[in-house]
């Protein structure tokens, strides 16, 4: 597709359930980012991939959060044993290059997770 595609767009989970959120970046984009955006807040960095390598996972809030990008294209963000505080929009973004000072991030529409 032409843009970053995320699925599902909406997910309702019961507390304690595991969820998986998928991101399909723009074809050929090397860099992929996951952000978490709570209501009324700016996006908070979670993790970053360059191709299949996860170069920075400093933003993952706990060991319940796990991300992968095994073939350097599609990425999955997995949240285990979801808690109510995990409720947020999870944004995926991709960028064509890797270490470009002004490279633009292209965001997907996000996956809105609600944990009951």
* Chain contacts with other proteins (rule: CB under 8 A): 31, 33, 35, 40-45, 48, 50, 55-56, 59, 91, 95, 98-99, 101-105, 107-110
Query: CB neighbours of 48 closer than 8 A, spacing ≥ 6?
Result: 31, 32, 33, 34, 54, 55, 56, 57
| Residue closer to other proteins (CB basis): 42 or 70 | 42
| Residue closer to other proteins (CB basis): 86 or 110 | 110
| Residue closer to other proteins (CB basis): 14 or 40 | 40
Task: For the CB of residue 87, give the shortest distance to other proteins in the complex, in Å.
Answer: 16
Asked if omega into 111 is within 30° of 0 (cis), the reply is no
Please return the burial class of 22, using the count of CB atoms within 10 Å of its CB with bins 0-12, 13-18 and 19+: middle
Task: For the CB of residue 35, give the shortest distance to other proteins in the complex, in Å.
Answer: 8
Task: For the CB of residue 57, give the shortest distance to other proteins in the complex, in Å.
Answer: 11
| Residue closer to other proteins (CB basis): 91 or 115 | 91
- Short-list 12, 19, 61, CA closest to 36: 61
């Amino acid at each position: 597709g032409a843009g970053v595609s995320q699925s599902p767009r909406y997910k309702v989970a019961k507390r304690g359930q595991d969820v998986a959120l998928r991101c399909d970046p723009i074809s050929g984009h090397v860099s992929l980012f996951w952000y978490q955006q709570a209501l009324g807040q700016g996006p908070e960095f979670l993790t970053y991939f360059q191709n299949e390598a996860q170069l920075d996972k400093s933003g993952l809030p706990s060991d319940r959060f796990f991300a992968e990008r095994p073939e350097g294209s599609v990425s999955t963000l997995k949240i285990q044993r979801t808690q109510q505080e995990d409720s947020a929009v999870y944004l995926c973004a991709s960028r064509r290059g890797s270490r470009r000072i002004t490279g633009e991030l292209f965001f997907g529409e996000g996956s809105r997770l609600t944990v009951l």
